[in-house]
């Protein structure tokens, strides 16, 4: 499923249109993301105004994540990227054909790094360019969700301990923070089930040396927020940065329109 939101801003009002596009069965031998890019390119034809700018929010299933430790001897951008690549290669092996980006540096603190297949980025940008659309930014869903969460009133993870997790497309990304600093970051394949998700987050807290009662905030784009009323839901977990029950694809598309 591909989600699209078109926002038209006028002098007196703002108009928003949304669409969800089904993806045809993927042909054997093609990348997992190819069908999504093809359907997006087909939808763009004749529908999107020219000379617009776009933001692409990628499902976490198409992104690799790593936590890059602070290294005082690393000074240049090239050295920073090489360090990040080493972190990815230690976990995933050869990273040829992947584009790596890091978040902003903070002295003495580890940084989140994301890796996306370069071919996916190129194909998406080409699809936009064919319709005179500028792809302003490629944003992993986990990063978009974290940025939204940080704007909410409860921002205790800025200075305390906690877990921020995102469950989307049968992928759960979990990041822990200790005293407001990134401590760990891991993604796992898992179905979005209330009980299983609660157990997965609790296990992650224990593996990272935290107590079972570590506060956790969970983003589940496209799922109804009333999941918290489920009998299986752990009341210590709090749903944040949610965008209705209309499907993850449309929820992520809305995240692209607003920071």
Q: What is the pLDDT of residues 42-54, one digit of tens each?
A: 888 766 566 677 8
**Are residues 52 and 175 part of one domain?**
yes
**Are residues 166 and 231 part of one domain?**
yes
Q: What is the pLDDT of residues 82-126, one digit of tens each?
A: 999 999 999 999 999 999 999 988 889 999 999 999 999 999 999
Q: Which residues pair with 5 in a beta bridge?
A: 18
Mean pLDDT score across all residues of the chain: 81
Domain count along the chain: 2
More confident: 213 or 63: 63
**Are residues 199 and 105 part of one domain?**
no
- Ranking 21-35, 91-105, 106-120, 168-182 by mean pLDDT, the lowest is 21-35
What pLDDT is recorded for position 209? 93
At 38, which CATH number? 3.30.420.40
List, in order, residues 6 or more apart from 223 with CB less than 8 Å away. 167, 192, 242, 245, 248
**Are residues 89 and 141 part of one domain?**
no
What pLDDT is recorded for position 259? 47
pLDDT for 30 beyond 90: no
Q: Kindly report each contact of residues 89-98 with a partner whose C-beta sits within 8 Å and lies 24 or more positions away, as own/partner.
A: 91/64, 91/66, 92/64, 98/64
Question: Nearest-5° angle of CA 179, CA 185, CA 186?
Answer: 150
DSSP annotation string for 97-134: TEEEEE----TT--EEEEEEEHHHHHHHHHHHHTTT-E
* Three-class SS state of 228: helix
**Are residues 218 and 137 part of one domain?**
yes
What pLDDT is recorded for position 15? 52
> Among 113, 139, 173, where does a domain finish?
113
> Among 113, 130, 153, where does a domain finish?
113
> Among 93, 113, 133, where does a domain finish?
113
Domain that holds residue 85: 62-113
**Are residues 148 and 67 part of one domain?**
no
**Are residues 235 and 222 part of one domain?**
yes
* Three-class SS state of 7: strand
**Are residues 25 and 139 part of one domain?**
yes
pLDDT band with cut points at 50, 70 and 90 for residue 181? very high
**Are residues 73 and 7 part of one domain?**
no
**Are residues 105 and 230 part of one domain?**
no
**Are residues 105 and 125 part of one domain?**
no
pTM: 0.86
Helix residue spans in the chain (DSSP H)? 34-44, 77-92, 118-129, 141-150, 194-207, 248-257
**Are residues 214 and 162 part of one domain?**
yes
pLDDT for 186 beyond 90: yes
* Mean pLDDT calculated for residue range 199-204: 90
């Amino acid at each position: 499923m591909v989600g699209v939101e078109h926002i038209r801003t006028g002098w007196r009002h703002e108009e928003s249109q949304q669409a969800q596009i089904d993806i045809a069965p993927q042909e054997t031998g093609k990348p997992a993301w190819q069908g999504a890019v093809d359907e997006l390119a087909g939808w763009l034809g004749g529908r999107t105004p020219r000379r617009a700018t776009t933001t692409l929010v990628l499902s976490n299933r198409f992104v690799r994540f790593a936590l890059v430790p602070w290294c005082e001897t690393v000074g240049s951008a090239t050295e920073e990227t090489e360090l990040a690549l080493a972190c990815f290669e230690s976990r995933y092996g050869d990273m040829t054909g992947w584009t790596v980006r890091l978040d902003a540096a903070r002295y003495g603190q580890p940084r989140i790094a994301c890796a996306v297949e370069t071919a996916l980025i190129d194909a998406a940008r080409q699809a936009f360019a064919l319709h005179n659309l500028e792809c302003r930014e490629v944003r992993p869903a986990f990063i978009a969700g974290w940025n939204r969460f940080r704007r909410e009133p409860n921002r205790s993870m800025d200075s305390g301990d906690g877990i921020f997790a995102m469950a989307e497309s049968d992928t759960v990304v979990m990041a822990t923070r200790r005293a407001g600093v990134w401590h760990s970051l891991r993604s796992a394949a898992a179905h979005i089930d209330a009980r299983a998700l609660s157990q997965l987050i609790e296990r992650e807290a224990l593996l990272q040396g935290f107590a079972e009662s570590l506060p956790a905030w969970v983003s589940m784009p496209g799922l109804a927020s009333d999941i918290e009323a489920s009998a299986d839901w752990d009341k210590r977990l709090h749903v944040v940065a949610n965008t209705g029950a209309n499907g993850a694809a449309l929820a992520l598309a809305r995240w692209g329109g607003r920071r």
